[in-house]
């Protein structure tokens, strides 16, 4: 058995919305780097169980928790159950998110509220609950979007606004938590091949010409950026963010 250095050995992480896609890749990467990991999911219980099985196969503890990120009570309970199940919490990854695309003039109030409640309020509530437990030198990473900086195409005005909110939230919270050496950062994915935006989907033909690297990114590439920010090498990186967008914003 090899005894390679694991940068997150002994750490406990919570990744929200991690039954599939980017969240699942992040959870597995953190486990690969040595962390015990709790994940939340809304409806995909079987997929969440498979991610948890993958985490355990790496020799780590895993918990899969049903929680709708739009529910404040469910988000708080997920944090508390993570702490109880893993024995603490060192790393929070706010990954849960929802995109409802379409002309702004046609979006219903319910569709606006859903995006605001998951992408903004859910992050606020989960982070506040987690900060009751995260020790000094902990890590908070939120999955933003390249659309939080610039909106490359029409139909995502509300989604882009929610991700833009994460830019200011990250910088403001970094100011508050800096004295405790808790870092607060963003990872901003661009077009990533997921169920939400598949590489062969209807948006691909309009997106690909805008990319410097003419392909969709992989979930693993986003997970690598998160793992860096969660690890010891990023101790002096806070209030910042990494674009993983293939150059769409270049």
Q: What is the pLDDT of residues 168-207, one digit of tens each?
A: 999 999 999 999 999 999 999 999 999 878 998 887 888 8
* Integer Cα distance of 115 and 229 in angstroms: 25
In a domain, 5, yes or no: no
Q: Which residues of the chain have pLDDT under 70?
A: 1-3
Q: 3-class SS at 115?
A: helix
Whether 216 maps to a domain, the answer reads: yes
Q: How many structural domains compose the chain? A: 1
Using alpha carbons, list the distances in angstroms from residue 187 to 66, 80, 94, 134: 24, 25, 10, 20
Our measurement of the distance from residue 113's CA atom to the centroid of its chain's CA atoms, rounded to an integer in Å, reads 20
CATH code of the domain containing 136: 3.40.50.720
- pLDDT (0 to 100) of residue 238: 98
Structure token digits, residue 239 = 């209030």
Residue-wise pLDDT tens digits, 130-142: 999 999 999 999 9
**7 inside domain:** no
Distance of CA 250 to the CA centre of its chain: 23
**Helix locations, the chain, DSSP H:** 21-32, 45-57, 72-86, 109-116, 122-130, 157-177, 204-207, 219-230
Q: Which residues form the domain of 112?
A: 12-244
Q: What is the structure's pLDDT at 4?
A: 72
Q: Is the dihedral of CA 168, 97, 210, 227 positive or negative?
A: positive
Q: Quick check: is 76 in a domain?
A: yes
User: Within a domain: residue 2?
Assistant: no
User: What confidence score (pLDDT) does residue 1 get?
Assistant: 41
Identify whether 94 is part of a domain: yes
Active-site hit among 41, 159, 216, 236: 159
Q: Is 59 left (phi over 0), alpha (psi -120 to 50) or beta?
A: left
Q: What is the pLDDT of residue 47?
A: 97
Whether 250 is covered by a domain: the verdict is no
Catalytic residue flag (residue 41): no
CA distance 108 to 163: 19
Q: Does a structural domain hold residue 249?
A: no
């Amino acid at each position: 058995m090899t005894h390679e250095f694991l940068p997150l050995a002994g750490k406990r992480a919570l990744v929200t919305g991690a039954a599939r896609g980017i969240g699942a890749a992040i959870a597995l990467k953190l486990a690969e780097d040595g962390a015990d990991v709790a994940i939340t999911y809304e409806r995909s219980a079987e997929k969440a169980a498979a991610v948890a099985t993958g985490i355990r196969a790496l020799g780590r503890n895993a918990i899969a928790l049903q929680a709708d990120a739009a529910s404040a009570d469910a988000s708080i309970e997920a944090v508390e159950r993570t702490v109880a199940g893993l024995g603490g919490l060192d790393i929070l990854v706010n990954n849960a998110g929802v995109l409802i695309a379409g002309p702004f003039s046609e979006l219903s109030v319910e569709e606006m509220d859903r995006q605001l409640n998951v992408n903004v309020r859910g992050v606020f509530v989960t982070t506040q609950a987690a900060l009751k437990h995260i020790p000094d030198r902990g890590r908070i990473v939120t999955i933003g979007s390249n659309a939080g900086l610039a909106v490359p195409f029409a139909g995502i005005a509300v989604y882009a606004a929610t991700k833009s909110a994460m830019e200011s939230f990250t910088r403001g919270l970094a100011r508050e938590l800096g004295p405790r050496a808790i870092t607060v950062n963003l990872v901003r994915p661009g077009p990533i091949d997921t169920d939400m935006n598949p590489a062969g989907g209807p948006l691909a033909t309009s997106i690909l010409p805008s990319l410097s690297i003419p392909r969709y990114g992989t979930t693993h590439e986003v997970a690598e950026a998160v793992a860096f920010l969660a690890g010891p090498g990023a101790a002096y990186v806070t209030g910042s963010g990494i674009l993983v967008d293939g150059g769409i914003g270049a």
